[in-house]
Amino acid sequence: MTAAEPDVVAGGFHLSDRSTAEIDEQESYLVPLTESVRRLLDAVIRTGAGPAEAVAARATIDAITAGLNESAPPGPAGVHYNTEGRSWQWGNAAVGPRNAVAPPLRVRTDPDGVTRGEADLGVAYEGPPNHVHGGVLALLVDHVLGVTASSGRRPTMTGTLTLRYRRPTKLGPVRLEGRIVRQEGVKMFVAAEVLDDEGVTVAAEGIWIVPRWARSRTSSGSERP
């Protein structure tokens, strides 16, 4: 059984009547399923299986997919939150905990105001041999800077993003660090770096903007530009 469809509020966010305990319980068994699918993706890329084994695996996977789809609501996964202050975005392309395609990125904002991310990137994210695809790095940077710009403040969305690829980033563990440079009205100027075990591989900067629906009103009743 699936929960009732939540109400849609401004900006495409969804208010849910589900409790935090219910969400935690659901994640306790569906997030591990996602990890198994991520391992499946890695295995499909690497496998040297013959025709018979590949056909059998495909039939099994198709049957499992059909069964899971029976309880899957249509449409995008969306962003959800409840009245207890819990929010979740299971399908997020960068960090969705139930999105096996998303890189295994974990992000936190530390007391010093720096947003830090960590990921262990395997062959599913490979571009040049043994190195991470530049587009995947752009995705990770975009997300970390979005968290940086929005931390403790109003929601923000990407306005501009500039990356400088200093050298190739090896597959394996990477770290990201993002920080706020300054704020001008509804614009947040932010910067970030991607690092591997040898130092910085990508430097980035960008502007994140508070969307109109999230802007507070000024004393004159008009929105800030």
Looking at the structure, do residues 108 and 172 belong to the same domain, yes or no? yes
Looking at the structure, do residues 117 and 183 belong to the same domain, yes or no? yes
| pTM of structure | 0.84
**Residue range(s) defining the domain that contains residue 30:** 1-102
220 within a domain of the structure (yes/no): no
**Which of 48, 71, 102 finishes a domain?**
102
What pLDDT does 128 receive? 96
Looking at the structure, do residues 118 and 85 belong to the same domain, yes or no? no
Looking at the structure, do residues 113 and 85 belong to the same domain, yes or no? no
222 within a domain of the structure (yes/no): no
**Which of 83, 102, 121 finishes a domain?**
102
Quick one: tokens of 158? 């990407």
Contacts (Cβ under 8 Å, ≥6 apart) of 184: none
**Domain with 205 in it: what CATH number?**
3.10.129.10
For 119-133, the pLDDT digits (tens) are 999 999 999 999 999
219 within a domain of the structure (yes/no): no
What pLDDT does 134 receive? 97
What pLDDT does 153 receive? 66
Helix (H) or strand (E) holding 140: helix 134-150
For 29-62, the pLDDT digits (tens) are 999 999 999 999 999 999 999 999 999 999 999 9
Asked if residues 204 and 192 have their Cβ atoms less than 8 Å apart, the reply is: yes
Coil, strand or helix: which one is 115? strand
**Which of 56, 85, 102 finishes a domain?**
102
68 within a domain of the structure (yes/no): yes
Looking at the structure, do residues 147 and 186 belong to the same domain, yes or no? yes
14 within a domain of the structure (yes/no): yes
What pLDDT does 214 receive? 74
CA 122 to chain centre: 17
Looking at the structure, do residues 175 and 108 belong to the same domain, yes or no? yes
Residue in this structure with the two tokens 């009547």, named with its chain if needed: 17
What number of CA atoms fall less than 13 Å from residue 176's CA on the CB side? 33
Taking CA 187 as the corner, what is the angle to CA 186 and CA 191, rounded to the nearest 5 degrees?
150
Weakly modelled stretches of the chain, pLDDT under 50 = 1-6, 217-225
73 within a domain of the structure (yes/no): yes
- Parallel/antiparallel/unpaired status of strands 199-209 and 187-196: antiparallel
What pLDDT does 75 receive? 82
Query: Amino acid identity, residue 11?
Result: G
Looking at the structure, do residues 25 and 110 belong to the same domain, yes or no? no
Concatenated DSSP letters for 147-193?
Answer: HHHHTTS---EEEEEEEEE-SPPBSEEEEEEEEEEEEETTEEEEEEE
What pLDDT does 223 receive? 45
Asked if residues 172 and 119 have their Cβ atoms less than 8 Å apart, the reply is: no
What pLDDT does 220 receive? 36
Query: Amino acid identity, residue 138?
Result: A
Contacts (Cβ under 8 Å, ≥6 apart) of 5: 73
CA distances from 30 to 27, 86, 89, 178 (A): 5, 17, 13, 30
Quick one: tokens of 113? 């105001």
How many distinct structural domains can be found in the chain?
2
